[in-house]
Structure formats: C-alpha cells, structure tokens
C-alpha cells in the first residue's frame, strides 16, 4: 500500500470522526428546551400561552469597544424586571437570554439565528451597533419576530428606502431609542434660529453614525439660514485628538458641532481643554452622546458648558425620571446613562403592550398592534411609537454640561417638542 | 497650513512618536535579538495601563505606577519566557500562535477583573497644565512624554553601549549561536531580555494611560503600531526603533489631518513603501534568513 | 474502500439538515455548521500559503471580503441572482486583487511578508470603509440576495447550507488535487528550502505569486458564500480580525494537512461563537487552547490525532 493511500485513509478517518464529534457536540450543546419543535402551535388559547414564561432575547455587546453600553443596558433591564417581580403584563418572564454581539455583524446574525431557531424567543431586544441592526433586519422580518430595538440609531432602520438598502422599516421592528436624524436635525434648526448661530464648523467621527449626524445637522442648519464653514473627520477610535483640535483651533469659526461617543469623546474633550479652546472662545456643541454620563464620569468638569442635544438627561425633572435615577443609583451605586434609559423604556413598552394583549405573544398582529398603541410617561417625557415607521416620537432637549451635587451632568436649557423622524 | 499650525502639528507628531518609541523599543529588542515574534506585546502594554489604573484608583499616585507597572509586567515576562517561549526557539508560527493565546488570556482576564468599561486617569499632578508654546496652549504632559522618551532612549543607549548586558545583547543580535558557543548563559540572557522588553511595553502603558485612556481592545491598536514602527525602523537596534517611531509618529499625525480619507490606511501604505524600498527597514541590521 | 468512506462522510455533511431534523436545535446547528464550513474554506485557502508554501500571510481576509463584496455587488449591479455570476465575480476580483498585492508582497519573506500582507489588507479595509457608495461603508452592504442555479433557489436555510457544503467539498477536492500534484510539491519545496528550489531551476517568485493568487481566489469563493449566507457584507469581513481568525484556525488544526484547517476552523468558531452563550470567559479559553496546543500538540489537532491513531494501531 502506498503511503499516500494510508494518508488518505487517516484523513478520511479524521473527517468522519470529527464530523461525528462535531455533530454530537452541536446536538449536545442544546439546553433542554421546552417540548415542541419549531412548528409553532398557533391554535393555543391565551391562557395556555400566558402560562409559559415569556422568553426575551437580548442582543447586546459585552465584549469589544461597546461593552460598557451592553453592561449598562443589562443593568437597566435586570432592574426593571426585578421591580416588576419578573412579570410583564401579568405574565411570568424567564430570565432574559443575553448574547454578545461582539461588534461583528456575522456574530450578530448568528446570535439572531440562535434566538429564532434555538431559543425560540417571544420577543427580541437590543442591538447597539447599527451595521448589526442592518445585517439582521431581513432575518427578523422574515421570521416575524417582534424586535424592540434599544440603541442602534441608523436612520434607515425605520424608514422607507430604495431597495431596502441599507435597511428599511419592518412591521415587526420597533425602535425605542432614537434615529440619528432626531438628534442632529432639530439642533441644526435650533442653532440657526433660536440660538442665532450664523456659522458652524463640523467635526465628526468618520463612520456611519458620524457622517449621518453631520449631514442631518448641516441640512437643517443651512436650511434655517446658517452656514457650515468647513468640516473635519477623525477616524473611529483615533488615539490622539491633539492633531485634530490643533486644526480646529487654526480656523476662525468658533461654534464647533461634533459627533463622538465613548473613548473618542473622552479623548476629544481632554484635548479640547489641553489646547485652551474655551479660553480662545471656541464653543463645543454636539449630539448628546458627546457628553453622556459614560463620558462625563471620566472627564468630570472638563466638558463644562458644552451644549448638546439628546432626548434625555439625568437631571430631567419629572417623576418618572426621579424614580428611575433613584432606583438605578440605589441598586448599582451609579448614575444611569442614556443607554440604560433606552433599555428601560424598551421594557416599559413591552410591559404595556403585554398588558394590552393579556400576556399573549402568539398572535403577532395583535402584539404589533399593541406595541403601536403604547403610550406612557417615560423618564424622557411622553413616549409613543410612530404608527407608520415604528420609531419613537419624543422630545429633544437642548442640554448644557454643568456640575450639580458634585457630579458633572447635563442640565436642560431648552426643548424641541415631539420630534418625529420623517420616515424617508 | 500656516507655519504656527505646522509647528504645533509637528510637536503633536513628535510627542506621538515619542510614545511609539517607548512602546516599540521593547519589541525591537525582543524581535531583533531573540528572534521571537511576540504578538503579546500589546497585551503587556495593556497590562501596564491597567496596573496604573489600579494604583491611581487606590493611591492616586501616578509616579508610583511609573515604577510598579513596568516591574509587574517585566516579572510576568520573566516567568513566561522560560515557561512557554524557550522551547519555541526558531519556530515562528508557534510563537505567533502562543503569543496570540497569551494576549487573549491577558486581555480577557483584565476585562473580567476591571470590567469592560472605558476608564481614564487624570494627568499626573504637576504635569496637568498647559503652557504657552509658539503663541498657543500646549499640554505640558506631552512635553514630558517627549523628554521622558529622550531620556529613556539615552539610558537604553548607555546600557546598550556601555554595560556588559548591552554588549551581550549586541552580540546576541549579531550571532546568538556564537554567543552560546562562547559559554554565555543564553537562556538567562534571553529571559532577561524578554523581561526588559515586556517591562518597556508596560512602561509605555503607564505613560500613555493619561493620554489615550484604558479600554478593552487597546492591546490590538498598540500591537499594530509597535509592529509597524519596528518593521519600518529596522529590527534589533535602538536606533531602528527611534527611526521608526520618528517616521511613523509625525506621518500618522499629519496624515490623519491632511488626508482623512486615507487615514485608516495611510500608515500601512507608508510601511509598505518603506519595505519595498528598504526590505529590512530603515536601519535594519538583522538579516531574516528563512 | 477509503474513497467510499470519504463519500459517506461527504454525503452525511451535505444531508446534515435532513438527518438532524429531529433535533431540538437542528436549524441552529445547521447555521453554525454552515459558518464553520465558510471559515474552513478560508482556512484551507490560507493553508496553501502558510502550510504548504511556507508564506505566512496575515492579510488573507482581504481576498475573502473582496470576494464577498464582489459577489454581492455583481448581483446587484448586473441584476442577476445567478450563482455563476456571483462566484465568477468573486473569484475574478479576489484573484486580481491577489495578483496586484502579490506582485509587491512576495518579494518579502518571513516577518516582512507577514507585515506587508497585513498592510495591504488594511488598505483594502480602508477602501471598503470609505467607498460607501459601492460597499455601504461602515454600515455594510445589506440586502444581498441568495443565488439561484439551474432553477434551484437557494433562499431557504437548508438549501443554502447544502450549497455551502457542496462548494466546501469542491474546495477540499481542489485543495487535495493541488497538494498532491507536482505543483503542490513544488510549493512544499519552497517552504522547505527556497534556495534549493531556485538552484533546481524553479522560478520561485513566479511560484510564490501563483500560490498567492490561487489562495486568494479560493478565499474569494469563501467570501461569496459568506455574503450569501449572511445576506450581508461588512467591513469586518476584510478586517484584521477575520485574517487572524483564519490564521489561528490553520495553526490550531495543523498546517500543511488537508483536514487540519477544517478542524481548526470548527474549533475556533465553536469557542468564539457558541461557547460565549454558556460562559463569560470564552476568550480566555480560546487563548489557553492556543497555548496548550503549542506546548503540547505541536502539529495541531491533526498531529495529535495522528499520534493517537498511530498509538492505537500498535
């Protein structure tokens, strides 16, 4: 027997055994799921269905760059359920299945398949990164899985677009967070009109969210008579912001509109101060994530005076917000951030919808209709979904960073009421 | 770009380059002398930064971290080299896999221990103001980084040229086998060199922490930058690390600002260009015979 | 007889959805296996360089992603869902890209080759990121249609899985033929002693370049399948993460073997994607697996299996 034959035989042996082992591993790794195969029993009564605990699938980042957001949103979700005694709309809720989106659309797609095919969740929530939301939109729509999206703000997800590219709205997808248009458009108009700003310079992170925000701001600002004198972009995750702020300082327009979040925002604000921008008369403005609590807790007073727009601030003075902030602080010894708020509102919406359907999620149309009819007072103000786009309709606050009670927070300066995403 | 802005950007570039030097010096040493592909270098940097975080959070003493963090990372290197790397002499693919594994473990354990939030530490006391340079404010800390880096380069040069360890290292870069034949305890030398390289990475982590922040994924960025600097500058010599950092720092800074569309790839394009013109790097002395 | 065994395994692989239909998690397992096969194709193609020809490339995802984008964009622009259109586009674009990059990269060796391939891959990433009109930029390319072929529509998950399985087997077959051919032996000669090959009269530059292009084209096929499977192409598909994923899959499985990259891909994907559902320290496990394998199982999983098989046989 020639050696090549032997080698082939060993290889085939290995293929066979590994394939078998693999198949066994995949089969063995399924947790003992409840009885019936995927062919759903549509003819069950509401009572039978309500008896089965509600399964929620939460796709959030727990590793890589957005891990902090995932943790924040998990905290809010867990707290909400704890407060409600693990019951939503009268129905018992199983502990949510949390999966890591790992900032990779391929991983997000696979975990979404897991929710649909293996866990057979009744409702899906989460997704932080817009590309991941875009990637799984079709799978969710095809599976008729109700999805309450609690962060990703890419405009297309709740709009009518050409060829559904990069994404488009779906009957089953509801967005409880925001569309980036909602954050950057009203402030553009506000700047030109109420604030009387004539010229602005934009500086954004060079990726989807940044460029989309910049475009929305520019369109609104220019439509209202303002002039954008120039723009600068920084690659996502830039380590060093000194070079960019040096360029900003070298140009004459004092009002800078920026979009950054997380580490970028922190480094930007630090560089801003180190180069003496405030003293030189430059004013930092931007979309709210620039100065959200995750950033403020690190930069503290270095962002004082920054004017940003967002649909919430930790200092919002209403009963629901006080209750939310107090409960969160008591449980976690931390101030909540807007991501926690988004998750919280997602749960509230789910709760109210389930109350309307008496806990039934098997009738998809009724579930969707119930979500469309959701209306409540959220810590951010009046909350409801747009019947057409399923994007949240909310107030946009103009905020300014200040120190209150020893913490750097966003104080409310003004408000643009009932901002509805245009949907096209 | 006006002259003042140019000068300021040049200063930015140089301070960034200074940081890159501290980061890359250790890798250049390890690679050049021990012929070890150490892809855990970024993780060592990250460990240094997190140790700094722990120290600053507990004691508020940044300057304490300046000594403790490199020591901790160096100690780790001293343990890892004989334990894992010694048996892999000359086996580069194995070194790649092993060091990737080590970096995954370090990064994940750090995330599990400290949480995966973004952390930052304030600029150390005394260096947290800005001063007037060429008519504009400039953070003193960046100037400190430049000064520190020059001092470190000087100290390393002295060790390299004037001490026995330095002589052994120089000889090791030239011909490790000969050194072994001459009766030098190569194993001990290599362990110490690796520890020194790791400690330098840890030191870079301390210095960079107040500037760049501490967050998950920082090891990958650092690793890529240090590889670029080392390859561009040439392996095995300190002057290579200086040349590499001196080119990459300013090039990256000016590139990001002048060519934002290419910013992501600019530094790689520069590296590719250098390699095509000078295949062993600007000042490379080591011939890689495969 | 062994050909029969191979056929049996191949048949089992292709019909996986059918004989596991009774399982609780059959569909999910099919999805996971599908993703493993796609990564396995990428790993196999990379092994042609790393394992056979001794060219350690850390930028191989560039061709994978290029193939993915090409298949998706060709289908959209040409308005055709024909499988051949997508595959040909993927292979063509990936091969041309590999040719262009290879012309520069193959002049280097060892760590310099590694860094050059990484550099070029990052440049491809930058292009994919910036050319938003073409590739969707950082938001990715959505709405990729699954292909049709000779009247068969591969929209359904089982059908698409079978397409992936069949193409995978085809790639395994091609890889096997290459490795056992004179050409494959010449490539192995490159790894063992390039100087001698040159002395024997081989044009080593040409040989290396051809290997680079063939490996790139093969990776492009994997990319096309990825685009079809996910119905999406993102910049992650050309990114350094994907390149490293493929690289470690090859090393773990055992370089230079046919089955090694496949098993390596399965192990890596399992730990990266399936394990995190159960434990929060999956990355640590992955890292430890790498360390243990280097220390204890030099030749990768395949080598380990061979040794134990040999021991059992005795």
pTM score of the predicted model: 0.91
> Is pLDDT at B227 greater than 80 in this prediction?
yes
Across the interface, whether the CB atoms of A38 and C27 are under 8 A apart is answered yes
Residue A40, classified by CB atoms within 10 Å of its CB into exposed (0-12), middle (13-18) or buried (19+), is exposed
Q: At A59, phi and psi to the nearest 5?
A: -100, 110
pLDDT band at residue A50 using 50, 70 and 90 as cut-offs: low
Residue among B101, B104, B271 minimizing CB distance to C119: B271
- Give Cα C218 to chain centroid, integer Å: 7
State in words which class domain A50-178+316-390 has.
Answer: alpha beta
CA distances from C270 to A58, A172, B201, C229, C273 (A): 21, 31, 32, 18, 5
Q: At A100, phi and psi to the nearest 5?
A: -90, 125
Are the CB atoms for B237 and B28 separated by under 8 Å?
yes
Q: Which comes out higher in pLDDT, residue A421 or A424?
A: A421
H helix or E strand, kind and range, residue A397: strand A392-404
Across the interface, whether the CB atoms of C143 and A22 are under 8 A apart is answered no
Q: How far apart are CA A394 and CA C166, in angstroms?
A: 51
* Domain range list for chain A: 50-178+316-390, 184-310+395-419
The mean predicted confidence, pLDDT, of chain A is 89
Q: How far apart are CA A115 and CA A145, in angstroms?
A: 9
Q: Does A251 touch chain B (CB under 8 A)?
A: no
Q: What is the DSSP letter of C50?
A: I
Could you give the 3-state DSSP secondary structure of residue B236? coil
Q: Which chain A residue lies closest to C12 (C-alpha atoms)?
A: A19
Chain C window 141-180: which residues touch B at a Cβ cutoff of 8 Å?
A: none
Across the interface, whether the CB atoms of B276 and C107 are under 8 A apart is answered yes
Contacts of C274 (CB under 8 A, 6+ apart): A26, A29, C32
Distance from the Cα of A200 to chain B's closest Cα (Å) equals 19
Residue among B227, B263, B290 minimizing CB distance to C110: B290
Which pair of tokens denotes residue A342?
């988004």
Are the CB atoms for A264 and A204 separated by under 8 Å?
no
Distance from the Cα of A267 to chain B's closest Cα (Å) equals 7
Q: How far apart are CA A138 and CA A143, in angstroms?
A: 8
Across the interface, whether the CB atoms of B102 and C291 are under 8 A apart is answered yes
Across the interface, whether the CB atoms of A267 and B213 are under 8 A apart is answered yes
* Domain range list for chain B: 3-117+126-277
Q: Which residue has the tokens 């209403």?
A: A318
DSSP labels for C190-250?
Answer: HHH-HHHHHHTT--HHHHHHHHHHHHHHHHHHHHHHHHHHHT-B-GGGGSHHHHHHHHHHH
The mean predicted confidence, pLDDT, of chain B is 90
ipTM: 0.92
**What average pLDDT score do residues A218-234 get?**
95
Are the CB atoms for C169 and C13 separated by under 8 Å?
yes
Residue among A14, A117, A208 minimizing CB distance to C31: A117
Q: How far apart are CA C194 and CA C205, in angstroms?
A: 10
b/e sequence C46-85, b meaning 16+ C-beta within 10 Å? bbbbbbbbbbbbbbbbbbbbbbbbbbbbbbbeeeebebeb
| pLDDT at position A316 | 95
The conformational region for residue C149 under phi > 0 = left, psi -120 to 50 = alpha, else beta, is: beta
CA distances from B258 to A160, A232, B11, B262, C83 (A): 37, 10, 16, 9, 43
Are the CB atoms for C230 and A109 separated by under 8 Å?
yes
> Is pLDDT at A90 greater than 50 in this prediction?
yes
Q: How far apart are CA C186 and CA C209, in angstroms?
A: 13
Contacts of A199 (CB under 8 A, 6+ apart): A226, A227, A228, A229, A253, A255
Which pair of tokens denotes residue C4?
């029969």
CATH of domain A184-310+395-419: 3.40.50.2300
Across the interface, whether the CB atoms of C143 and A131 are under 8 A apart is answered no
Across the interface, whether the CB atoms of B139 and A267 are under 8 A apart is answered no
Q: Does C6 touch chain A (CB under 8 A)?
A: yes
> Is pLDDT at B239 greater than 90 in this prediction?
no
CA proximity to A19, closest of B101, B36, C265: C265
Q: How far apart are CA A141 and CA A156, in angstroms?
A: 15
| pLDDT at position B132 | 87
Could you give the 3-state DSSP secondary structure of residue A423? coil
A2 interaction partners in chain C (CB closer than 8 Å): none
Contacts of A360 (CB under 8 A, 6+ apart): A46, A49, A50, A366, A367
What number of helices (H) and strands (E) belong to chain A?
13, 16
Q: How far apart are CA B126 and CA C93, in angstroms?
A: 56
Taking 70 as the pLDDT cut, the residues of chain C under it are 1, 299, 314
B142 interaction partners in chain A (CB closer than 8 Å): 242, 274
**What average pLDDT score do residues A168-183 get?**
96
**CATH topology agreement for domains A50-178+316-390 and A184-310+395-419:** yes
Tell me the per-residue pLDDT of C270-301, one tens digit each, with 9 for 90 and over.
999 999 999 989 999 999 999 999 988 776 77
H helix or E strand, kind and range, residue B69: helix B62-80
| pLDDT at position B25 | 92
Q: How far apart are CA B79 and CA B90, in angstroms?
A: 19
| pLDDT at position B285 | 62
Across the interface, whether the CB atoms of C112 and B288 are under 8 A apart is answered yes
Q: Does C300 touch chain B (CB under 8 A)?
A: no
Tell me the per-residue pLDDT of B1-38, one tens digit each, with 9 for 90 and over.
888 889 999 999 999 999 999 999 999 888 877 888 89
Count of positions (residues) in chain B: 290
CA distances from B119 to A19, A227, A296, B116 (A): 44, 37, 11, 9
Report strand pairing: C152-153 vs C148-149.
antiparallel
CA proximity to A245, closest of A228, A226, A268, A262: A268
CA proximity to C82, closest of C11, C171, C157, C163: C163
Residue among B84, B269, B290 minimizing CB distance to C295: B84
Q: How far apart are CA B121 and CA A423, in angstroms?
A: 42
**What average pLDDT score do residues B83-99 get?**
89
Q: How far apart are CA A359 and CA A171, in angstroms?
A: 20
> Is pLDDT at A11 greater than 60 in this prediction?
no
Q: Which residue has the tokens 């299996």?
A: C305
Q: Which chain A residue lies closest to C280 (C-alpha atoms)?
A: A62
Across the interface, whether the CB atoms of B104 and C298 are under 8 A apart is answered no
Q: Which comes out higher in pLDDT, residue B167 or A310?
A: A310
| pLDDT at position A31 | 40
Are the CB atoms for B173 and B33 separated by under 8 Å?
yes
Q: Does A276 touch chain B (CB under 8 A)?
A: yes
Contacts of A326 (CB under 8 A, 6+ apart): none
- For chain B, list the contacting chains (3+ Cβ pairs, <8 Å): A, C
Q: Hey, what's the torsion of the CAs at C173, C174, C177, C178, to 10 degrees?
A: -150
Residue among B1, B213, B216 minimizing CB distance to A266: B213
Distance from the Cα of A170 to chain C's closest Cα (Å) equals 14
Could you give the 3-state DSSP secondary structure of residue C299? coil
pLDDT band at residue B170 using 50, 70 and 90 as cut-offs: confident
Tell me the per-residue pLDDT of A293-304, one tens digit each, with 9 for 90 and over.
999 999 999 999
Report strand pairing: A227-235 vs A283-287.
unpaired
| pLDDT at position B286 | 52
Mutate which: B24, B42, B97, vs C, most C CBs within 10 A: B97
Across the interface, whether the CB atoms of A13 and C5 are under 8 A apart is answered yes
pLDDT band at residue A36 using 50, 70 and 90 as cut-offs: very low
| pLDDT at position B176 | 76
Could you give the 3-state DSSP secondary structure of residue A396? strand
CATH of domain B3-117+126-277: 1.10.3470
Q: Which residue has the tokens 């930790």?
A: A314
Count of positions (residues) in chain C: 314
Residue among B115, B118, B141 minimizing CB distance to A263: B118
A180 interaction partners in chain C (CB closer than 8 Å): none
Q: How far apart are CA A135 and CA A124, in angstroms?
A: 15
* First-residue to last-residue Cα distance in chain C: 22
C288 interaction partners in chain B (CB closer than 8 Å): 101, 105
Residue among B2, B216, B253 minimizing CB distance to A250: B2
> Is pLDDT at A20 greater than 60 in this prediction?
no
Could you give the 3-state DSSP secondary structure of residue A232? strand
| pLDDT at position B19 | 95
Which pair of tokens denotes residue C169?
């087997």
Residue among A63, A244, A274 minimizing CB distance to B139: A274
| pLDDT at position C305 | 78
Mutate which: C21, C23, C24, C176, vs A, most A CBs within 10 A: C24
Residue among C110, C122, C284 minimizing CB distance to B265: C122
> Is pLDDT at A38 greater than 80 in this prediction?
no
> Is pLDDT at A95 greater than 90 in this prediction?
yes
| pLDDT at position A77 | 98
| pLDDT at position B224 | 93
Distance from the Cα of C107 to chain A's closest Cα (Å) equals 31
Distance from the Cα of C234 to chain B's closest Cα (Å) equals 16
Are the CB atoms for A122 and A97 separated by under 8 Å?
no
Distance from the Cα of A340 to chain B's closest Cα (Å) equals 14
CA proximity to C117, closest of C205, C11, C243: C243
Residue C192, classified by CB atoms within 10 Å of its CB into exposed (0-12), middle (13-18) or buried (19+), is exposed
Across the interface, whether the CB atoms of A275 and B12 are under 8 A apart is answered no
Across the interface, whether the CB atoms of B215 and A267 are under 8 A apart is answered no
Q: Which chain A residue lies closest to B256 (C-alpha atoms)?
A: A234
Q: How far apart are CA C268 and CA A278, in angstroms?
A: 50
- Max intra-chain CA distance, chain C: 62
Q: Does C57 touch chain B (CB under 8 A)?
A: no
Lowest mean pLDDT among B158-167, B214-223, C5-14: B158-167
Q: How far apart are CA C41 and CA C262, in angstroms?
A: 8
Q: Around Cβ A125, how many Cβ atoms within 10 Å? A: 28
Q: How far apart are CA C144 and CA C165, in angstroms?
A: 20
Distance from the Cα of C109 to chain A's closest Cα (Å) equals 30
> Is pLDDT at A39 greater than 80 in this prediction?
no
Tell me the per-residue pLDDT of B174-188, one tens digit each, with 9 for 90 and over.
777 888 888 888 888
Q: Which chain B residue lies closest to C292 (C-alpha atoms)?
A: B98
Are the CB atoms for B207 and B48 separated by under 8 Å?
no
Q: Does C236 touch chain A (CB under 8 A)?
A: yes
Are the CB atoms for C125 and C58 separated by under 8 Å?
no
CA proximity to C268, closest of C281, C254, C252: C252
């Amino acid at each position: 027997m020639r050696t090549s034959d032997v080698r082939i035989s060993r290889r085939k042996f290995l293929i066979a055994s590994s394939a078998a082992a693999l198949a066994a591993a995949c089969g063995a790794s399924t947790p003992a799921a409840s009885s019936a195969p995927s062919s759903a029993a549509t003819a069950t009564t509401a009572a039978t269905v309500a008896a089965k605990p509600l399964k929620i699938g939460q796709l959030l980042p727990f590793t890589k760059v957005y891990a902090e957001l995932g943790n924040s949103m998990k905290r809010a979700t867990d707290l909400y359920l704890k407060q409600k005694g693990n019951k939503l709309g009268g129905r018992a809720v199983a502990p949510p299945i949390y999966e890591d989106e790992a900032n990779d659309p391929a991983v997000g797609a696979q975990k979404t398949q897991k929710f649909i095919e293996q866990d057979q969740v009744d409702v899906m929530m989460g997704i932080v990164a817009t590309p991941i939301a875009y990637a799984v939109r079709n799978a969710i729509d095809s599976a008729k899985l109700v999805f309450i999206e609690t962060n990703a703000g890419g405009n297309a997800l709740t709009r009518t677009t050409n060829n559904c590219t990069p994404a488009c709205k779906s009957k089953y997808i509801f967005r409880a967070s925001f569309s980036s248009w909602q954050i950057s458009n009203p402030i553009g108009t506000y700047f030109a009109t109420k604030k009387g700003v004539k010229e602005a310079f934009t500086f954004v992170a060079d990726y989807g969210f940044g460029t989309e925000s910049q475009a929305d701001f520019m369109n609104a600002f220019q439509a209202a008579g303002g002039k954008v004198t120039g723009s600068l972009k920084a690659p996502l995750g830039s380590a060093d912001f000194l070079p960019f702020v040096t360029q900003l300082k070298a140009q004459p327009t004092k009002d800078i509109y920026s979009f950054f979040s997380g580490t970028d925002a922190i480094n930007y604000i630090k560089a801003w101060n180190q180069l003496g921008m405030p003293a030189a008369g430059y004013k930092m403005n931007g979309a709210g994530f620039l100065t959200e609590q995750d950033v403020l807790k690190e930069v503290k007073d270095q962002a004082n005076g920054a004017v940003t727009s967002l649909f919430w601030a930790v200092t919002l003075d209403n009963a629901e917000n006080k209750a939310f902030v107090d409960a969160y602080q008591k449980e976690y010894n931390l101030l909540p951030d807007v991501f926690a708020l988004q998750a919280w509102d997602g749960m509230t919406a789910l709760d109210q919808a389930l109350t309307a359907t008496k806990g039934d999620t098997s009738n998809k149309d009724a579930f969707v209709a119930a979500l469309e009819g959701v209306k409540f007072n959220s810590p951010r103000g009046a909350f409801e979904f747009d019947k057409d786009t399923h994007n949240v309709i909310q107030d946009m606050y103009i905020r300014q960073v200040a120190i209150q009670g020893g913490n750097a927070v966003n104080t409310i300066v003004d408000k643009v009421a009932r901002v509805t995403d245009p949907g096209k | 770009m006006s002259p003042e802005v140019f000068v300021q950007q040049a200063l930015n570039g140089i301070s960034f380059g200074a940081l890159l030097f501290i980061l890359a010096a250790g890798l250049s040493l390890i690679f050049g002398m021990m012929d070890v592909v150490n892809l855990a270098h970024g993780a060592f940097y990250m460990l240094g930064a997190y140790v700094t975080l722990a120290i600053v959070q507990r004691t508020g003493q940044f300057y304490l971290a300046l000594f403790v963090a490199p020591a901790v990372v160096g100690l780790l290197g001293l343990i890892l080299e004989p334990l894992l790397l010694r048996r892999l002499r000359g086996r580069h693919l194995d070194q790649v896999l092993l060091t990737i594994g080590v970096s995954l473990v370090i990064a994940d354990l750090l995330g599990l221990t400290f949480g995966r939030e973004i952390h930052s530490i304030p600029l150390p006391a005394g260096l947290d103001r800005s001063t007037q340079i060429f008519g504009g404010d400039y953070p003193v800390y960046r100037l400190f980084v430049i000064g520190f880096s020059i001092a470190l380069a000087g100290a390393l040069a002295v060790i390299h040229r004037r001490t026995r360890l330095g002589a052994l290292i120089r000889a090791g870069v030239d011909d490790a086998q000969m050194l072994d034949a001459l009766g030098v305890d190569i194993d001990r030398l290599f362990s110490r060199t690796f520890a020194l390289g790791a400690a330098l990475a840890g030191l870079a982590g301390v210095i960079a922490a107040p500037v760049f922040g501490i967050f998950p994924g920082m090891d990958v960025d650092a690793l890529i930058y240090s590889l670029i600097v080392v390859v561009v500058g040439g392996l095995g010599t300190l002057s290579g690390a200086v040349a590499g950092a001196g080119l990459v720092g300013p090039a990256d800074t000016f590139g990001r600002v002048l060519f934002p569309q290419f910013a992501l790839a600019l530094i790689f394009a520069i590296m590719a260009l250098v390699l095509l013109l000078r295949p062993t790097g600007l000042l490379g002395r080591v011939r890689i015979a495969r | 007889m062994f050909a029969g065994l191979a056929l049996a395994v191949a048949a089992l692989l292709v019909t996986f959805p059918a004989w596991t239909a009774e399982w609780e998690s059959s569909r999910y397992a099919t999805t996971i296996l599908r993703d493993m096969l796609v990564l396995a194709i990428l790993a196999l193609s990379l092994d042609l360089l790393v394992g056979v020809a001794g060219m350690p490339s850390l930028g191989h995802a560039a061709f994978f992603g290029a193939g993915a984008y090409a298949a998706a964009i060709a289908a959209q622009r040409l308005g055709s869902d024909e499988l051949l259109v997508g595959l040909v586009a993927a292979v063509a674009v990936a091969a041309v890209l590999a040719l262009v990059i290879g012309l520069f990269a193959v002049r280097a060796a060892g760590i310099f080759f590694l860094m050059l391939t990484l550099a070029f891959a990052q440049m491809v990433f930058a292009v994919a990121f910036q050319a938003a009109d073409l590739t969707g930029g950082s938001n990715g390319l959505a709405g990729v249609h699954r292909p049709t072929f000779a009247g068969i529509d591969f929209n359904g998950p089982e059908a698409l899985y079978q397409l992936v399985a069949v193409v995978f087997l085809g790639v395994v077959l091609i890889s096997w033929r290459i490795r056992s051919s004179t050409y494959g032996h010449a490539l192995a000669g490159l790894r063992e002693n390039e100087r001698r090959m040159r002395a024997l009269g081989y044009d080593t530059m040409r040989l290396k370049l051809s290997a680079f292009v063939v490996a790139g084209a093969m990776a492009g096929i994997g990319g096309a399948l990825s685009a079809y499977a996910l119905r999406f192409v993102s910049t992650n598909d050309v990114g350094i993460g994907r390149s490293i994923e493929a690289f470690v899959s090859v090393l773990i499985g055992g370089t230079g073997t046919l089955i090694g990259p496949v098993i390596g891909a399965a192990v890596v994907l399992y730990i990266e994607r399936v394990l995190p559902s159960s434990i929060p320290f999956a990355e640590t496990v992955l890292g430890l697996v790498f360390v243990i394998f280097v220390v204890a199982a030099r030749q990768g999983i395949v080598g380990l299996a061979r040794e134990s098989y040999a021991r059992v046989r005795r």
